[in-house]
Amino acid sequence: MHTKATPFEALQAAVARAGSQSALARVCGVSQTAVWKWIQRSKRLPAELCLVVERETGVSKHSLRPDIYPLKPTPNVVPDPTRNIACDRTGISHRIAQA
């Protein structure tokens, strides 16, 4: 049975593919201590670094941060122009409804 890797395991894989914590730190533009803290404290990779780590190590952003990059994208919701829009600024909802 194959189990899905946790974000922590994905981060460990990224460190391994980079070669070391120091190498991953250089890729991310942070200190080796920051990477060490992510690993030791079971922290998630900061969101702003996911795409860089994916590009440089090949570890999927979906594995690193499934909370931000889910495998199944959420469907695009098109707003209903006939729906009333609550607004605290007078006149705004009328202009939207007439547009």
93 within domain boundaries = no
Q: What's the pLDDT at 1?
A: 41
Whether 68 contacts 47, CB under 8 Å: yes
Domain CATH code at residue 49: 1.10.260.40
Number of domains composing the chain: 1
78-88 confidence digits (pLDDT tens): 666 666 655 55
Question: Which bin fits 71, alpha (ψ -120 to 50), beta or left (φ > 0)?
Answer: alpha
Amino acid occupying residue 32: Q
| Full residue range of the structural domain in which residue 15 is found | 7-64
| Reported pTM | 0.68
42 within domain boundaries = yes
41 within domain boundaries = yes
76 within domain boundaries = no
Q: Which helix (H) or strand (E) holds 33?
A: helix 32-40
Q: To the nearest whole percent, how much of the chain has pLDDT over 90?
A: 59
47-74 confidence digits (pLDDT tens): 999 999 999 999 999 999 999 998 876 6
